[in-house]
C-alpha cells in the first residue's frame, strides 16, 4: 500500500512504473478508441494523402504514432499505404508479434518527423495534478493513496497556480480542476519534432466555457468506467483542457471526419435486395462512422492540428 501522494506521481507510478497498467495491459482489452476502428484508419489514410500532396509527394513520408497502444491504426495503414510511407510507433509496450515487419516500434522518439505525427488518446494519460478549493477558499493539491482515498495537500503555488489562473480558474469550495500544464508541455515537445507535415492529437477534452466543476479524473477497466484508484490495475485518465494546448487549430472529431469523407448515412434499403453483401458492408461502415461521429461520444473528441 502506498501512502498519500499527488495525482501526478500516482498516475506516473500506476500507469507507467514497474508493473504499471500500460506496462502490462493492452488498451484495446479495456476500452474502445477511435484508432482501433477500420474506418478511422481509412480517414487517416486520406489525411496522409492530403499532407503528402501538400509536401509535394516526397521520397520519404513518415507516419509516427505516439502512444500506439496495440498498433491497430498502423496495422490498418500498412494495408492502405504503399512502401513509400514509413510506419513507426512510439510505445512503451513491446511490439505485438503479429504486426507487419514494416512497422518500426520502440519506446524512443526520433529526432525529427517529416510527414504525419499522430497521438490518439495519449494526452489524457499524461500524468497531471488535481487541485481542489478547500472550505476556506484556498486552492490546494489533492493527494491520493493506494486505496483511492483522498486528502488535501499543500496550497497550489507558482507555475501550477498560474496555469489554473490562466486556463481553469476555481474558487468555490469543493471545486476541482486538473492542472493541464504537463499535457501542454508534452504536446509542445512532440510538435517540436515536426520538420514538415502535420501533427495531430486526438483526445477527450473540454474548453474554458465548459470546464467540468468536479474535474474528470476517472478509471477504466474491462470496458467499464470505475473509480480512479491508483492500484496499477486500471487506466487512470483525465480529459484534456484542449484550448490550453498550443496548436494551429482545434476541431471536433465529427467535423474533421466529415471533411475527410466519412459518411454515417445508412445505405439505401433497396441495396439489401440488389446486393446483400454490399449492403451489409456499407451498413457496417456507416454504423462505425456513426459511432466515431456521435456528438455524445467519440465525435465530441477534439482534433488538435499543427501544420509545418
Ligand atoms: C489510451 S492508450 C491509446 C492507444 C492508441 N493510441 C489508441 O488510441 O487506441 C495510450 C497509450 O500511450 C502509451 N504511452 C503513454 N505514454 C507513453 C510514452 N511516454 N511513450 C510511449 N508510449 C506511451 C501507453 O502505453 C498506451 O498504450
Q: What are the cell numbers at 83?
A: 512502401
Rounded Cα–Cα distance for residues 43 and 24 (Å)? 30
CA of 92 to the centre of ligand 1 (A): 7
The span from the CA of 10 to the CA of 179, in Å, is 14
Contact indicator for 102, 78 with CB cutoff of 8 Å: yes
Report how far ligand 1's centroid is from the alpha carbon of 159 (Å): 26
Domains (range + CATH), the chain: 5-126+179-258+295-307 (3.40.50.12710), 129-176 (no CATH), 264-289 (no CATH)
Q: Give the cell for residue 90.
A: 512510439
User: Which residue has the least CA distance to atom 21 on ligand 1?
Assistant: 91
For 98, half-sphere exposure in the C-beta direction (CA atoms, 13 angstrom radius) is 5
pTM, two decimal places: 0.95
The residue contributing the CA closest to ligand 1 atom 13 is 67
Residue 36 Cα: closest atom of ligand 1: 9
CA proximity to 37, closest of 120, 98, 94, 93: 120
Percent of the chain clearing pLDDT 90 (strictly above): 96
pLDDT mean over 270-298: 95
288 alpha carbon – ligand 1 mean position (Å): 23
Indicate which residue's Cα is closest to atom 23 of ligand 1: 67
Q: Are 272 and 51 in contact (CB under 8 A)?
A: no
For residue 25, is pLDDT > 90? no
**Mean per-residue pLDDT for 282-289?**
94
Cβ(150) – ligand 1 distance below 6 Å: no
Mutate to test the pocket of ligand 1, among 12, 13, 22 (most ligand atoms within 8 A of CB): 22
C-alpha cell at 14: 500506476
Share of the chain above pLDDT 70, in %: 99
Question: Above 90 in pLDDT, residue 92?
Answer: yes
Q: Which residues pair with 224 in a beta bridge?
A: 221
- Partnered with residue 203 across adjacent β-strands are 302
Nine-digit cell string for 54 = 501538400
In contact, 88 and 110? CB cutoff 8 Å: yes
Q: How many residues does the chain have?
A: 308
β-pairing, 139-144 vs 249-252, is: unpaired
Whether ligand 1 lies within 6 angstroms of the CB of 122 is answered as yes
Residue 142 in grid coordinates: 489533492
- 36 touches ligand 1 (CB under 6 Å): yes
The grid coordinates of residue 84 equal 513509400
The pLDDT value recorded for residue 28 is 86
Contact assessment for residue 8 and residue 147, using Cβ atoms and an 8 Å cutoff? no
Give the count of beta carbons closer than 10 Å to the beta carbon of residue 147: 12
Decide: 69 in ligand 1 pocket, CB within 6 A: yes
Query: What's the mean pLDDT in 192-200?
Result: 98
Most informative mutation of 70, 103, 122 for ligand 1 (most atoms within 8 A of CB) = 122
Average pLDDT over residues 114-142: 98
Nearest CA to ligand 1 atom 4: 69
Report the distance separating Cα 298 and Cα 60, nearest Å: 32
Residue with cell 474491462: 222
30 pLDDT band (50/70/90 cuts)? confident
Report, as an integer, the average pLDDT of 227-244.
Answer: 97
Chain position carrying cell 446486393: 275
Calculate mean pLDDT across residues 160-177. Answer: 98
Mean pLDDT of the chain: 96
Residue 1: pLDDT band with limits 50, 70, 90: low
Residue of the CA atom closest to atom 27 of ligand 1: 69
Q: 9: Cβ–Cβ under 8 A, 6 or more apart, which residues?
A: 127
- How many Å apart are CA 126 and CA 90, to the nearest integer? 15
Neighbours of 45 (CB within 10 A): 17
Is residue 223 within 8 A of residue 283, CB to CB? The reply is no
Separation of CA 115 and ligand 1 centre (Å): 20
Measured from the CB, is residue 41 less than 6 Å from ligand 1?
Answer: no
Each residue's pLDDT tens digit, 72-85: 999 999 999 999 99
Looking at residue 59, its pLDDT comes to 96
DSSP H/E element including 116? strand 113-120
Closest-lying ligand 1 atom to the alpha carbon of residue 93: 25
Amino acid at each position: 500500500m502506498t501512502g498519500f501522494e499527488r495525482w501526478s506521481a500516482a498516475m506516473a507510478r500506476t500507469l507507467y512504473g514497474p508493473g504499471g497498467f500500460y506496462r502490462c495491459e493492452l488498451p484495446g482489452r479495456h476500452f474502445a478508441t477511435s484508432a482501433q476502428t477500420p474506418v478511422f484508419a481509412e480517414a487517416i489514410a486520406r489525411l496522409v494523402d492530403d499532407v503528402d500532396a501538400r509536401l509535394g509527394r516526397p521520397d520519404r513520408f513518415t507516419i509516427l504514432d505516439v502512444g500506439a497502444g496495440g498498433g491497430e491504426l498502423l496495422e490498418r495503414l500498412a494495408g492502405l499505404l504503399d512502401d513509400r510511407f514509413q510506419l513507426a510507433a512510439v510505445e512503451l509496450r513491446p511490439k505485438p508479434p503479429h504486426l507487419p515487419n514494416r512497422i518500426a516500434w520502440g519506446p524512443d522518439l526520433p529526432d525529427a518527423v517529416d510527414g504525419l505525427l499522430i497521438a490518439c488518446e495519449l494526452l489524457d494519460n499524461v500524468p497531471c495534478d488535481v487541485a481542489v478549493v478547500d472550505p476556506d477558499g484556498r486552492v490546494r493539491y489533492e493527494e491520493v493513496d493506494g486505496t483511492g482515498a483522498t486528502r488535501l495537500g499543500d496550497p497550489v503555488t507558482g507555475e501550477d497556480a498560474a496555469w489554473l489562473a490562466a486556463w481553469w480558474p476555481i474558487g468555490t469550495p469543493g471545486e476541482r480542476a486538473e492542472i493541464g500544464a504537463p499535457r501542454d508541455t508534452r504536446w509542445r515537445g512532440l510538435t517540436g519534432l515536426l520538420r514538415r507535415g502535420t501533427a495531430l492529437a486526438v483526445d477527450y477534452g473540454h474548453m474554458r466555457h465548459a470546464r467540468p466543476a468536479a474535474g474528470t479524473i476517472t478509471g477504466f477497466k474491462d470496458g467499464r468506467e470505475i473509480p480512479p484508484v491508483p492500484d496499477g490495475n486500471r487506466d487512470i485518465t483525465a480529459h484534456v483542457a484542449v484550448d490550453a494546448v498550443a496548436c494551429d487549430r482545434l476541431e471536433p472529431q465529427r467535423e474533421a471526419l466529415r471533411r475527410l469523407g466519412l459518411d454515417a448515412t445508412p445505405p439505401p434499403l433497396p441495396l439489401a435486395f440488389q446486393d446483400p453483401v454490399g449492403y451489409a458492408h456499407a451498413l457496417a461502415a456507416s454504423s462505425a462512422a456513426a459511432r466515431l461521429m456521435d456528438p455524445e461520444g467519440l465525435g465530441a473528441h477534439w482534433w488538435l492540428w499543427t501544420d509545418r
